[in-house]
Structure 1
Amino acid sequence: MSIFSHITIGVNDLEKSIWFYDKVLAELGLSRHSTGDGFAGYGPTLHKNKITKPTGENSLWILKPSNGEIASGSNGTNIALSTRSRERIDAFYAVCIDLGATSEGSPGLRKDIHDNFYACYIVDYDGNKIVAVCHEAQ
């Protein structure tokens, strides 16, 4: 069981954000399972062409804020997405940068956190800081 039920990220341009997250989350083995008026949901890809049921559990959601105000991230807040492969971290980072995300830290070991903490940090179009991390020894 995951420590998170779900995570939501506020976005200002849903179409552009879906385009971005469809591509970069695929590098971590995640696929879009739901799309609706003002939102999209993502979760683990279980098998080729078969994705999780859209239960909302263990999901990442992007959405336009329900209060109608501009979406923004907070300094010091980030969302860490986990994978078991350092190669996936490298691929995720490359796709993010190619698609216009801002680097907040290229892929590499952060031994100040722990000996196997391999991660990268990006900021999406709306200022949300996303971390991709592998905790596995490689």
Structure 2
Amino acid sequence: MFSHITLGTNDWPRARPFWQAVAAALDLPVLFEHEEGMAWGEMTGPKIFIGPAYDGQPASCGNGTHVAFLAGSRAAVDAFHAAAIAHGGTDEGAPGLRPHYHADYYGAYVRDPDGNKLQAVCHSSKG
């Protein structure tokens, strides 16, 4: 449904441990890294880029915007949340069922060190 998502950071050295931990918890493959940012995903599939804003202006997060990562299991959602909090993220909603979306919707919400709202979600009752 999408090619890629780009989220800005104003301090890659601060954001790097957060993003590495979150990507590892979700088993996202590294696409590349450079001195100001990093990307995860597949060259011809969905991917996420983290780095400075392309226009040279300070990066900012969008109000009402969030990125939801598809997790392979509920345990991966839990690991995502724990990794995010342990690496400078802030809690925006602990892991748990959200049955108002559907019966098996299991998700967690965090903010990264730059304030971007992120989610991991598993749509299966297994795992």
What is the Cα deviation at residue 37 of structure 1?
4.7
Structure 2 residue 125 is the aligned partner of structure 1 residue 127: no
> Which of these residues, 105, 120, 131, is aligned with residue 93 of structure 2?
105
Structure 2 residue 8 is the aligned partner of structure 1 residue 10: yes
Kindly provide the amino acid, as one letter, of the partner of residue 113 in structure 2. Y
Larger deviation, residues 84-93 vs 55-64: 55-64
Root mean square deviation, CA, Å? 1.4
> Which of these residues, 55, 59, 77, is aligned with residue 67 of structure 1?
55
What is the Cα deviation at residue 112 of structure 1?
0.7
Cα separation, partners in 2 of 1:104 and 1:61, compared to 1, 3 Å: same
Larger deviation, residues 6-15 vs 30-39: 30-39
Alignment size in residue pairs: 126
- Is contact 1:6–1:56 with CA below 8 Å preserved after alignment? no
**Unaligned regions of 5+ residues in structure 2, if any?**
none
> Which of these residues, 30, 33, 36, is aligned with residue 35 of structure 1?
33
Identity of aligned residues (%): 39
Question: Matches of 1:31 and 1:16 in 2, distance apart?
Answer: 21
1:47 matched residue in structure 2: none
Cα separation, partners in 2 of 1:32 and 1:17, compared to 1, 3 Å: farther
> Which of these residues, 71, 80, 99, is aligned with residue 68 of structure 2?
80
Question: Matches of 1:120 and 1:12 in 2, distance apart?
Answer: 24
Kindly provide the amino acid, as one letter, of the partner of residue 101 in structure 2. I
- Is contact 2:25–2:76 with CA below 8 Å preserved after alignment? yes
Cα separation, partners in 2 of 1:56 and 1:14, compared to 1, 3 Å: farther
- Scaled by the length of structure 2, what TM-score is found? 0.92
Larger deviation, residues 127-136 vs 30-39: 30-39
**Unaligned regions of 5+ residues in structure 1, if any?**
44-51
- Scaled by the length of structure 1, what TM-score is found? 0.85
Kindly provide the amino acid, as one letter, of the partner of residue 19 in structure 2. Y
1:46 matched residue in structure 2: none
What is the Cα deviation at residue 69 of structure 1?
1.5
What is the Cα deviation at residue 93 of structure 1?
0.6
